[in-house]
Amino acid sequence: MIVEKNGPVARLVLNRPEKHNALRFDDLDILVAALHEAEDDDAIKVIVLKGNGPSFCAGHDYNDALMSYGLEPAADGSKLRRPSQRTRLLRDRKLGMNYMAFQNSMKPVIAQVHGHCTGVGMYFVELVDLAIAADDTYFSHAEQRLGLAGNTWHMNSQILMYGAKKARELMLLGDSFDGPEAHRFGLVNLSVPQAQLEATVENWAQRISKHARDALVTGKAMHQMALESLGGAQQFTRGYVGHTLGTNLRFEPDEFNFLRERAQEGTTATFKKRDERFGD
């Protein structure tokens, strides 16, 4: 995690380039702490969220998630006792509150998106105020193919953004799409050539910073209240309960069990096998 401050603009930079900025749970905690620090800094008017290296954010680090949830098999291969519901609900409630922090930031947040954007990367783009993407960005909700199939954290926001039918399509198929498509159905505000991405985001950040400080936070508070009237707050309560249930499924013998396959073939090979199953 890198924090850069330049005049009225703070940049929160994800910094695991070798992993396409796949986030461990601790990384997300640190990111949210940095977000709150920028909110508290009166010199900052606008916050930019971006990624170092080839991608914005390729989702959660799956291996770390398994360890965090207590689902990593023992070294001797013995089967672990299933984590308690209370443990899982506490973990997922914290995760949901971290996502909610981006929706509820007191100051405008712009996502600067390039490379791979999936899983939690998609959640950021869906929840922040504004998003600008490179044309060749690789977006998807492929995380839904792990057994979620539409069991998502912030369904209200997704239905409002995409419309009910498109939201269901993105959740059930998990297909990838590029920047111009993301712009067409409302995920991002602009899609630009990669070479213009940095300058375009900087231009918007500087233009937004011309507003008075009180105007920015008051305007965001009104936006937040409007979202809450449409279910924007309750969605995270449903989200963390749903995620606990959705990641504690029973798989039948003819169904694709990612954990079982991963134990035999490893994480990377199993991701490829999963996507082949869905026609990619």
Give the global pTM.
0.92
Half-sphere CA count of 198, side-chain side, radius 13 A: 5
> What integer pLDDT is reported at residue 245 of this predicted model?
84
Q: Mind listing the pLDDT tens digit for each residue in 109-130?
A: 999 999 999 999 999 999 999 9
Please report, for residues 71, 142, 151, 181, 257, the alpha-carbon distance to residue 88 in angstroms, rounded to integers and kept in the order given: 11, 22, 16, 36, 19
- Which one has a higher pLDDT value, 145 or 76? 145
Q: Mind listing the pLDDT tens digit for each residue in 191-240?
A: 999 999 999 999 999 999 999 999 999 999 999 999 989 888 889 888 88
Phi, psi dihedrals of residue 12, rounded to the nearest 5°:
-100, 115
